[in-house]
Amino acid sequence: MINLTSYASIAHGRLTGSPVNVVSPPTQHKTDASLATSSRVTNSTVSTLAHQLSEAATRAEARRGQNTPHPLDSITGDTYLANKTQHDAELPKTATPELLARARQATAFVNGVDSNPFKGLARDQLSLIAHDEGGAFTTHERRAALQEMQTVAPPVASSPRSAGINGRDLMISRLFGHREPSVAQPPATFENTTQSAFEFLNRDDRALISDMYAYAQAEGADLGYVDRLAWSLGHYRHLSDGRQLLSGNNGYDSDGYRVTYNFKEEDAAIASRILKGSAINSTRLDPGYLRHILNPDYGALSNTGGMPFLEQMVIKFSGEGASLPSLGNEFATLKTVKINDNIVITTNKNIKLPPSKVLAASVNGTWSLTEEGKAAGYTLDKATGKLQRATAAADNPAPHGSTSPVPVDKAPHRTLLEALATSRNRAPMGVTGPGYLFTVMRAINP
């Protein structure tokens, strides 16, 4: 028998905190008038959710000790992103209006146009919903439950020394000066590339960062550690939750050999502990962000010695935070670490960049054809910078010898620098830190 705390539903499927102990759905044989009134509310709202939660709890018990993929991967990982359109259209296989309305509201919430249908539920209930893959809840319902769970983690006030410290004022002062701006919206574009990454932190991010500032100051830690984590999270948000950032392990050195990057040994061990530990299931730090930044393909180049502090924050702001000891003196002074001293660089001499296929190049603002472009039959209008190639008569009914203009910025195999040079009507893309080159490559719309 599992005792669950259920909540009465109000208009539009929102849930409010009106606790009632539920062991099983009420029977249909109650005749007392007061019980009948209560039964109408319970049967239409509470019992449905209680029944779903009871079944989810049973499935959770069955999963214990089994070596199965992590349940949250399906609502936070690459598979979720790849099937986002399908998830937007997903509805429960039922004709119950309440369940259909709740599923639609969850989708609207995930897409930023409605409130969370699970707001007000207890952490244990939210955890059951988020982790349940039994089909009782849609993908977006599970994702909405996970996001709500991250907002109701144990408060930072569990540390007596943080009492009286206004973390929000610290956050606003350090990240925004004296006035907090509205939440900026991704994706990263040429127009907003110079905008501060901090402005892309959403409301939940800012609430968490505020609590981190309060905790760090109470523990005597250098607030620069929180600054750095906030920038990393904001940068992730700016780049559409990392989707605009290409892997840093697709590069080549000046000799054309493939170069890959990885965490140094101690940081790799920390990353493994975070990803495999239980705290990631309840931490207020976005699990999607953690899986992104702890993947060396994306996190190695932006990791500058902050891995130990990140681990402390993951645990502190999770369901296991009460057991975390004091930060001690390790974080009393921010350590500045050079990227080359903090990563492992491997050059693979077995993989080399293929010969260039660039058709035209610009030197000191003057365009000229490369040998590749000449061999392919292109000519170049030096005044306009446009490529032209004779079109075979069989392919085009135009008079023999006519040409088909091809703008340089539309030519195949163009390089990143060429793309930047020919994007004259776009705002300049500034360097925004590690990963800039790959940000630019995704932001360009050829």
Residue after which a domain boundary falls, among 89, 118, 151: 151
Which 3-state string (H, E, C) describes 82-134?
Answer: HCHHHHHHCCCCCCCHHHHHHHHHHHHHHCCCCCCCCCCCCHHHHHHHHHCCC
Helix (H, G, I), strand (E, B) or coil at 43: helix
pTM of the complete model: 0.51
Q: Are 163 and 250 found together in one domain?
A: yes
pLDDT score, position 431? 33
Cα angle 138-141-147, degrees, rounded to a multiple of 5: 145
The pLDDT assigned to 288 comes to 93
Degrees, nearest 5: CA angle 117-230-186: 60
Question: Does residue 179 share a domain with residue 306?
Answer: yes
- Residue 362, amino acid: S
Residue ranges in the chain whose pLDDT is less than 70: 1-46, 64-71, 77-78, 152-164, 303-305, 355-357, 362, 364-365, 382-385, 389-446
Same domain, 194 and 95: no
pLDDT at position 382? 66
Helix, strand, coil percent values for the chain (each to nearest 5)? 45, 10, 45
DSSP character string of 178-222: TSPPPPP-PPP-TTTTTS-GGGG--HHHHHHHHHHHHHHHHTT--
Give the end of a domain, one of 151, 175, 199: 151
Whether 40 and 70 map to the same domain: the answer is yes
**Dihedral-angle region of residue 35 (phi above 0 means left; psi in -120 to 50 means alpha; beta otherwise):** alpha
Q: Tell whether 142 and 44 lie within a shared domain.
A: yes
Q: Mark which of 292, 321, 351 sits at the end of a domain.
A: 351
Q: Is 310 found in the same domain as 161?
A: yes
Residues 331 and 366 in one domain: no
The answer on 122 and 204 residing in a single domain is no
Q: Is 243 left (phi over 0), alpha (psi -120 to 50) or beta?
A: alpha
Are 360 and 370 in contact by the 8 Å Cβ rule? The answer is: yes
pLDDT digits (tens, 9 = 90+) for 352-365: 877 666 777 767 66
Write out the two tokens for 86.
Answer: 């399908």
| Same domain assignment for residues 98 and 127 | yes
Question: What is the spatial order of strands in the sheet that 386-390 belongs to?
Answer: 378-381, 386-390, 403-407
Q: Which domain holds residue 105?
A: 4-151
Q: What is the pLDDT of residue 184?
A: 93
pLDDT at 245: 82
Q: What is the pLDDT of residues 35-44, one digit of tens each?
A: 333 333 334 4
SS3 9: strand
Question: Do 167 and 84 have their domain in common?
Answer: no
pLDDT at 7: 32
The per-residue pLDDT for 356 is: 64
pLDDT, residue 32, reads 35
Domain co-membership, 136 together with 168? no
Considering the domain architecture, whether residues 222 and 311 belong to the same structural domain is answered as: yes
What is the total count of domains within the chain? 3
400-429 residue pLDDT tens: 333 333 343 433 333 333 333 334 333 333
